[in-house]
Amino acid sequence: MTPKLKIFIVDDHNLFREGLLFLLSNSNLEADIYEAENGEQFLDKFQLINPDIILMDIEMPVINGITATYEALKINPELKIIALSMYGNENYYTEMIDAGAKGFLLKNSKFDDVRNAILDVYSGKNYFSPEILDGIIKNLNKKKYKKANYNLSEREVEILYNICKGLSNHEIADNLFISKRTVDKHRENILLKTQSKNTAELVVYAIKNKIFEV
């Protein structure tokens, strides 16, 4: 059904590799399996093999999964790397996504999930264990939580935005065709309302409240 895949398992635990190999060969996935014990071995071998899917452990001796992923993708950006992580180490996910992993599996997943991850990533999608996905979504939520409870007027927001752009009061005045003295007053009011005591705090406030985007 699916073409014969070349799957590369990078993990320092022999038993884990063997188990996964067994599961893969007893599944209906046609695959050749290659192995490495750590990131260094993998980096030495992957170019000869050119695997379709790489299952990459994160915590490994010599060269860890994050570095290995990063380095391998520098050489071949098309590589499809799925991170493998112990439960509890799921916080590595940002670093692995950063490094360029296309998927993230927890080691306590069912084999069916592994299968799905392999097929999804092979077909160009991303795959993330539900627990990881949950974390990602929660994270997105968290950051947006405190928004829009400032009581600045429209004009004040406009002034603040321009302050963040690095304009001086004089420049802002020119841009908005008002007097510099007016901008002074607005700025003063904004400082009061936001309980800031200088420009630095104003900018931090603006960014926190999504008035200015970094």
Q: Under a CB-based contact definition with an 8 Å cutoff, are residues 146 and 60 in contact?
A: no
Burial 186-205 (b: 16+ CB within 10 A, else e): bbeebbeebebeeeeebbeb
Nearest approach in angstroms of CB 145 to DNA is 23
Closer to DNA at the Cβ: 64 or 169?
169
Total chain residues near its own copies (CB under 8 A): 35
Binding partner at 204 among DNA, its own copies, none, C-beta below 5 to 8 Å by kind: its own copies
Buried b (16+ CB within 10 A) or exposed e, 145-172: eeeeebebeeebbbbbebbbeebebeeb
**Interacting positions 171-190 with DNA (CB under 7 A):** 173, 176, 178-182, 184-188
Q: Rule CB under 8 A: which of 155-184 touch its own copies?
A: 163-168
The torsion angles phi and psi of 107, rounded to 5 degrees, stand at -70, -15
5 touching DNA, by CB under 7 A: no
CB proximity list for 176: less than 8 A, separation 6 or greater: 158, 159, 162, 183
Instruction: Return the number of the residue (4 or 144) whose C-beta is nearest its own copies.
Output: 144
Measured in whole angstroms, how far is the alpha carbon of residue 203 from the centre of its chain? 26
Binding region for its own copies (CB under 8 A): 94, 97-98, 100, 120, 125-126, 128, 130, 133-134, 136-137, 140-141, 144, 163-168, 196-204, 207-208, 212, 214
Binding region for DNA (CB under 7 A): 151, 153-156, 163, 168-170, 173, 176, 178-182, 184-188, 191, 197-199, 202
